[in-house]
Chain A
Amino acid sequence: MTKDETRRIGGNERLRAKRPGKGALQDLGAYLYILPATAVLVVFHFFPAFYAAYISLFNTNLLGRWDFVGFGNYVEMFSDPDFIKSVSNTLVYVLGTVPIGLAIALAVAYLLNQKIRASGFFRTSYFLPYVTPVVAISIVWMWIYKDDSSGMLNSIINLFGGSSQRWLLDPKWSMFALVVMSIWRHLGYNVIIFLAGLQNIPQEYYDAAAIDGASGWKLFSNITWPLLSPTTYFLTIISIIGSFQVFTQAYVLWPGGGGGPLKTTLVVVKYLYDVGWGEFRFGYAAAIGYFLFFVIFLLTLIQRKALGNKVYYQ
């Protein structure tokens, strides 16, 4: 209950001078309520984030080695060929997954939003991959991508007369394999959010437009797309952030370490993990983490500026 409400209940219209003791006590109550959540955030999110910033200034294994290097780690990144490769791989991954992934998700959501039979079944099926552990999914996809004719993908291609490809071993295909699997995995989540967005658009708009003679693509481009823009905007940001942080799939699909054939699927977080836990260079790993943070932060700002004012809120 806010103070305003208290006053209203008391029926006293006159603004009372705030009694210092009582006000503080009321605030204390509020602070107590948010304390548990804040404590968790501070201990497990804020402190590690600031601590990571601190250790990113050191050449450290967190144990006996603590050599202060200032921004040396940040400078080193730009002359580290593996890091640069990981950044370009990640950019390819983001560009590959986000636009195509969202387009497919929108199409599927649009179809599921129609009055079709067993739509509940389809909605569940599309969501299943998202709630299945990535490790389990990756192992299934290793079989799909198997490089001889026993692989599912290859046997389908062979059926149509194509020749088998080495999806996971050929540097030409490895990133493609990673992207396809990721799109498939995130499809369900994107579809559900799009579906919620679609169902938020009032039917009256469509009815009115239909009376005016609009149909098909016109309905979509003039009503659905603009009114769905808050959802699209949200999903774009969330997907880009998520894609920049891709790790588990790449880690499981190529168990040999190193990051796929010729490091073609060495993504930033995989590289961060490798230098951190593989080589005990935690300072450098933290710096890479911060680099990633700034990239994502900047991109989100740019998106806000560029797209934010094109978003139509009802």
Chain B
Amino acid sequence: MPAGESMRKRTFMLVALSLILALALGSASLAASKVTITFWHAMGAQLGATLEGLVKDFNETHPDIVVKAEYQGNYGALQQKLTGALVAQKPPTVSQVYGNWAAEFITSNALVPIENFVNGPNGMSKLEVDDIYEGLRKASMINGKWYTMPFNKSVYVLVYNKTALDEVGITTPPATWQELLTAANKLTKRNDKGEFIRSGIGLRDNIDLFACFYFASGGEWLDKDGKLAIGGATGQKALQFMVDMLNKYKVAAYMSGYWDADFGAGKTAMYMTSSPGLSYTESAVAGKFEWGVAPLPASDLKYRATPVAGTDLAIYSKSTKAEQDAAWTFVKWMVEPTQTAKWAIGTSYIPVRKSALYLGIMKEYFAKNPKAEQSLKQLNYIKYDPNLAAWNGIRGDISTAVQKAFLAKATVAEALAEAVTVGNKKLGF
């Protein structure tokens, strides 16, 4: 190699190196003024796109904070990664959590209670706190402490085939059980063998559907001692009503999966689903008929209620004080009326703040999508599952009770009594 070329090469390398160094230093000094936090979530597809959009907005309006939103897969994957990361002492700064996960995470003080921030210097006023639906706030409490911020929450609604309802002369969707039964009866169509061409209502053989009836007849999962309360008159009445629709009046069908496809195919005239499920309904119906959404019918209007499901945002204590404060700024911003409204519009989840309903964008959205407004009518009547690790097993036991009653393997009272015995044992009684 000629000496000149070698020299030139060396000079070039030097220049390149110093450039790289300068760049590295520059970005380091730039990064020093910024706090970077990681946000683990389980929102895929459309939900994920809406979430990424909000995070982008946040990063643009908060130059001193960088939120890195990281999709972890479905809820199961998120739970596994969070647990693994906590054991390895490397949790994210913020993540979505279910209440029963949070109840376990706090056994190692992994979470900073959200109430510490709410009452802190950059906190929320009483007015702002009260603006978050009380039912959602209560569902985020563990042992009397407010640990997590309600985030993506959904409620159950009644979906009905409006075209079919019009045909049988029903103008308003059923609001009480009596009306539900009447409507289901009129809507049921059979072939000459007595098989359903269209069932009046589609049920599922699990705890979630039972909750839709049990809550809406005044029931609560636990009594004041923390024991299962489903075995009493209210629980029996709710389950008996479901069983009667199936086996006595024969106006209902059930499956263990989801009803949207069958509803779209006209095989059932009504069913109950959680609000984000409505996008599936939309694509299953695909304009074949008109459909609508109504609050869950109650045994009596004074018992109107709906189960609430979904996750909260949690802030992890492993992170530095600066990171936690940045995380709180992010969490607080995410549930501000404008953001929670945008979130609700993009995903069919419910806005967690009452005032979001009065925003222009929300009113515009309701005008275009009157269905969405129906789920929100119920937000003052939400009921929720207890944040107990044992609850998952009890869910299975209550589902079994529902199946036993549906299959007529036991009376309603026997099926529920068995679930209560097994469940209370899991609760430590």
Residue positions of A touching B, CB distance < 8 A: 61-65, 81-82, 142, 147-150, 164, 168-171, 254-263, 274-275, 277-281
Contact = CB atoms under 8 A, between A and B. Distances in A.
B396 A257 contact: yes
Interface in B380-395: 389-390, 392-393, 395
A5 B107 CA distance: 62
B105 interface: yes
A262 B407 contact: yes
Contacts of B206: 256-258
Contacts of A279: 389-390, 392-393
Between B76, B106, B108, B396, the greatest number of chain A beta carbons within 10 A of the residue's beta carbon is seen for: B396
Contact of A262 (B108, B195, B409): B409
B196 interface: yes
B312 interface: no
A277 B255 contact: no
Contacts of A65: 104, 107
Contacts of A168: 255-256
A82 B393 CA distance: 10
16 contacts: A82-B396, A148-B196, A169-B255, A169-B256, A254-B256, A255-B257, A255-B258, A256-B204, A256-B208, A258-B396, A259-B396, A261-B205, A262-B404, A277-B79, A278-B392, A280-B100
A274 B396 contact: yes
A61 B267 contact: no
Query: What are the 3 A-B residue pairs with the smallest beta carbon separation, nearest first?
Result: A64-B107, A64-B108, A278-B392
Interface stretch (B58-66, B80-88, B139-147, B221-229): B80-88
A169 B395 contact: no
B107 A256 contact: no
Between A62, A81, A168, the greatest number of chain B beta carbons within 10 A of the residue's beta carbon is seen for: A62
Between B76, B100, B254, B399, the greatest number of chain A beta carbons within 10 A of the residue's beta carbon is seen for: B399
Given A61-B107, A65-B107, A263 B257 contact: no
Contact of A61 (B253, B257, B389): B389
B95 interface: no
A47 B422 CA distance: 36
B86 A147 contact: no
B184 to A, nearest CB: 17
Contacts of A280: 100-101, 104, 389
A253 B205 CA distance: 14
B83 A63 contact: yes
Contacts of A61: 104, 107, 389
Contact of A64 (B76, B109, B399): B109
B389 A148 contact: no
Contacts of A281: 389
B413 interface: no
A277 B82 CA distance: 12
A154 to B, nearest CB: 10
Contacts of B87: 62-63
Interface string B324-337: 00000000000000
A288 to B, nearest CB: 13
A62 B82 CA distance: 12
Given A169-B205, A261-B407, A148 B267 contact: yes
A257 B257 CA distance: 10
A262 B403 contact: yes
Given A63-B108, A274-B393, 20 more contacts: A61-B107, A63-B83, A142-B257, A148-B267, A150-B267, A168-B256, A170-B407, A254-B256, A256-B208, A256-B256, A256-B257, A257-B399, A258-B396, A259-B396, A261-B407, A263-B396, A274-B392, A277-B79, A279-B389, A281-B389
B400 interface: yes
Contacts of A274: 392-393, 396
Given A261-B256, A281-B389, A63 B205 contact: no
Contacts of B400: 258, 262-263
Interface string B91-108: 000000000110011111
Nearest to A251: B76
A63 B110 contact: yes
Contacts of A81: 422
A150 to B, nearest CB: 8
A286 to B, nearest CB: 14
Contacts of A170: 407
A256 B399 contact: yes
Contacts of A148: 195-196, 253, 267
Nearest to A264: B403
Between B206, B403, B404, B409, the greatest number of chain A beta carbons within 10 A of the residue's beta carbon is seen for: B403
A239 B104 CA distance: 37
Nearest to B110: A63
A169 B254 contact: yes
Nearest to B258: A255
A259 to B, nearest CB: 7
A277 B74 CA distance: 14
A258 B395 contact: yes
Contacts of B392: 257, 274, 278-279
Interface string B414-425: 000000001000
B375 to A, nearest CB: 22
Contacts of B101: 280
Contacts of A164: 195
Interface string B206-235: 101000000000000000000000000000
Interface string B240-261: 0000000000000111111000
Contacts of A150: 265, 267
Nearest to A261: B403
Nearest to B199: A148
Contacts of B86: 62-63
Nearest to A254: B256
Given A149-B195, A258-B399, A277 B390 contact: no
A261 B406 CA distance: 10
A282 B396 CA distance: 18
